[in-house]
Amino acid sequence: FAKFSTRDRGATHRLGMLGQVIPRKGVREAVEFFAVVADELPELSLSIAGGTPDARYRQHVEEAIAAAGLGERVTLEGFVPDLQAWYHSLDIIVSNSQAEGLQTALVEGIASGCRALSRDWAGAEEVVPPDGLFSSATEFRQRLVEHYALDAEERTCQATGEREALLERLGARPRMAELLASLAL
C-alpha cells in the first residue's frame, strides 16, 4: 500500500472507473447507472480511465453518454500516466465488472483513500464492504446518496476505515502479503 498514499480528503464529487472499456467491465451500464443519480447529485462527475480495444463498444458507451445528456460530466480518459494523481482526484472508485480476479483498481483506489463501490458478485466482498456493494441502478444510486449525505469528516473516517480493514484482510493471506509488497515497489 506504500505506493498508493492517501491524501487530505475534501469532496471532489468525482467517481472513477479504471480498466479496459470492454463489455465485461460493464462501462456502458455504469454510465446508465450514473444517469439515474445525475439529477439528484448534479455536482458528480465520472472519469473512465483505461484503454478501449473494442471501438464498437466504445461507440456504444459514447452513445449512452450522449443519450443521457452527460457529455460534460462523464469523460473517457484513455490511458492515465499518473495513477496516484488520478486516484487522488476521486472520492469513489467504482467497479461494475461482472467478475474480477484480484480487483486491482479497487485495491489501489482504497489504498489511495477512495471509497469503493462494486457490483455484487462472488468475491467482491473480499475487497469491498457490504455497504459498498450494489446489484442495480437503484442500489448504486442509494450508495452514492448515502455517501454524499455524510459530512467530510465522516467520509474520511469511512474511507480510512475501509483502507485499514482491507490491509488487514489482505495482509492475513500469505499470497496477498506478497502481492501487497509488490504494490509497494
The tens digit of pLDDT for each residue in 2-54 reads 678 887 767 899 999 999 999 999 999 999 999 999 999 999 999 999 999 99
All three cell numbers of 59, joined, read 461507440
Alpha-carbon span 129 to 50, nearest angstrom: 25
Of all helices (H) and strands (E), which one includes residue 58?
helix 55-67
Instruction: Annotate 94-155 with DSSP letters as a single string.
Output: EE--S--SS-HHHHHHHHTT-EEEEE--TTGGGTS-GGGEESSHHHHHHHHHHHHHS-HHHH
Residue spans per domain, the chain: 14-183
Fold of 14-183: Rossmann fold (3.40.50)
Q: Provide DSSP, 29-43.
A: HHHHHHHHHHTTSTT
Is residue 1 predicted with pLDDT exceeding 70? no
Reading the block at residue 180, the C-alpha cell is 501487497
Report field, pTM of the whole predicted structure over 0.85: yes
pLDDT in tens, 51-80: 999 999 999 999 999 999 999 999 999 999
C-alpha distances in angstroms, 57 versus 10, 22, 69, 99?
Answer: 34, 6, 19, 18
- Asked if residue 91 lies in contact with residue 162, where contact means CB atoms within 8 angstroms, the answer is no
